[in-house]
Amino acid sequence: MTEFRAPVGTRDVLPPESARWERLVAVFAGTVERAGYGLVLSPMFEDVGVFERVGEGTDVVRKEMYDFEDKGGRRVALRPEGTASVVRAYVQHRPTPPFKAWYVAPNFRYERPQAGRFRQHHQLGVEVLGTDDADLDVEVVALAWSVGAALGLAQVTLLLNSLGDDACRPAYLELLKSFLASAALCDEHAGGYEQNPLRVLDCKRDACRSATETAPRLVDNLCEACAAHFARVRSGLDTLGVPYTLQPRLVRGLDYYTRTTFELAAGALDSAQNAVGGGGRYDKLAEALGGPATPGIGFGMGIERLLLACDAEGVFPGPPSAVDVWVVDTAGGGAALALTHELRAAGISADRSFDGRSMKSQFKSADRSGARVALVVGNDELAAGTMTLRDLRGGDQETVARADVVEHVRKLLS
Ligand code: HAM
């Protein structure tokens, strides 16, 4: 018989790793909900056109999209990223701006799998629609920063740039193109830089790296409004004490960005896959999706990468154990069943062994579970109306009246 495996580039997340995911989501939710963001759930697939608007010149759309025709003949695509779906939902439902949303969702990109790069990855993110106030840029960037800090990550660098807008970017692109025309670029970009010259700045190959060292920088060519906006963002970050590094090469992999763009780079990860999060403004995307002109900004953080960075720095461990109490049953019958049920109903986490295993094997399971105490349900105890309670950390044992056992355990655990 064929033994099936998870598809290439995907992974199963099992306990106890999954408990760490839950904790990460809870940290994120706590951080952004305290700032007024509400959870948005959107479909995992959309009309392919929704995602095509994020940039027909990008790898994400051109090469990596899981798009197909459904049984009704509609062209759909699995979500490669979260922003387009939230903006589509905003355009469709027109909630009162500013609309502050957060999400946790799987994304699908047909990429070459490697460490920290998957075909299904998961992002935690926020999006805000309806204001272009620079204070909001500061809020959003600071939220991303504080998620890293809340996890205990110390080796994260915030890279910041401005990509300008329709008023200043076209002239800059012409300037860049004429610079690139006489530069010795890598094979991929030598012939194909004209369509998207900004990509060359992001190219990791040595040829492009050295050829663009003296390339004109967009931050030096911003129009007055974009320069003023960027200055306000920077001074806001300074006010909050959020440290950042200006990175004029930061162009991001999606085409919708305008003005503020940023990335969080984890120093503890291999540089090819060290972005644990990224985002920026996309003031034209709502219009591109058929809505009214509505500025927007947000970021997405990769759950897998965040946890890899935490591993590399030795921070943010998983929760210590799944349950507090393990019920060891040597009597058979219904007593262990009833006790376990009663503990759970009282809000105490409890588990037990099945299949009438030996006492030794049940204690082994109890130890493996990480439970703090074991309650032994044996025939002698049942006859005496008691239970034996064993402290699994220290090894002490005591006898407790059956009627008091739940209250006793509750006190002990608190
Ligand atoms: P992105 O930079 O493509 O931006 O992805 C955001 C984060 O998701 C990355 O920094 C990385 O941590 C993680 N990530 C991306 N692709 C993969 C992958 N193949 N495997 C593992 N992790 C991955 C966006 O998706 C934008 N929607 C972010 C945004 C929100 N911009 C504005 N609002």
Question: CATH topology of 17-164+224-313 equal to that of 325-413?
Answer: no
Q: Which of 163, 305, 306 to mutate to test the pocket of ligand 1 (most atoms within 8 A of CB)?
A: 305
Question: Domain residues of the chain, as ranges?
Answer: 17-164+224-313, 169-221, 325-413
Least confident of 57-66, 100-109, 233-242, 293-302: 57-66
Give mean pLDDT, residues 295-316. 98
**Does 325-413 carry CATH code 3.40.50.300?**
no
Q: pLDDT tens, 208-221?
A: 999 899 999 999 99
For residue 127, give the H/E element and its range. Answer: strand 120-129
Q: Look at residue 188 and tell me whether its pLDDT is greater than 90.
A: no
pLDDT above 90 (res 225): yes
Q: What is the mean pLDDT of residues 37-56?
A: 94
pLDDT digits over 382-405, tens only?
Answer: 999 999 999 999 989 999 999 999
> Residue 232 pLDDT > 90, yes or no?
yes
Query: Is 358 a residue whose pLDDT tops 90?
Result: yes
pLDDT for position 382? 94
- Residue 61: its pLDDT value, please? 87
Cβ of 278 less than 6 Å from ligand 1: yes
Average pLDDT over residues 354-366: 95
pLDDT digits (tens, 9 = 90+) for 53-100: 888 778 888 899 999 999 999 999 999 999 999 999 999 999 999 999
* 224-240 helix and 134-151 helix, angle to the nearest 10 degrees: 40
95 CA to centre of ligand 1 in angstroms: 25
The pLDDT value recorded for residue 33 is 98
CB of 117 sitting under 6 A from ligand 1: yes
Q: DSSP letters of 40-75?
A: ----SEEEHHHHHTT-TTSHHHHTS--EEE-TTS-E
280 lines ligand 1 (CB under 6 A): yes
- CATH fold, domain 17-164+224-313, is BirA Bifunctional Protein; domain 2 (3.30.930)
| Residue 125: strand, helix, or coil | strand
| Contact of 211 with 185, CB cutoff 8 Å | yes
Give residue-wise pLDDT tens across range 138-174: 999 999 999 999 999 999 999 999 999 999 999 999 9
C-alpha–C-alpha distance, residues 111 and 367, integer Å = 41
Report the separation in Å between the CA atom of 387 and the middle of ligand 1, taken as the mean of its atom positions: 53
Please tell me the pTM assigned to this model.
0.94
pLDDT for residue 59 = 87
Nearest CA owner, ligand 1 atom 9: 277
Count Cα neighbours of 413 within 13 Å in the Cβ-side half-sphere: 21
Please identify, by atom number, the ligand 1 atom nearest to the C-alpha of residue 299. Answer: 30
Which of residues 255 and 121 earns the better pLDDT score?
121
Q: Is the pLDDT of residue 192 over 90?
A: no
Confidence class for position 242, pLDDT limits 50, 70, 90? very high
Q: Is the CB of 284 under 6 A from ligand 1?
A: no
Determine if ligand 1 sits within 6 Å of the CB of residue 274.
no
Mean pLDDT over 261-268 rounds to 98
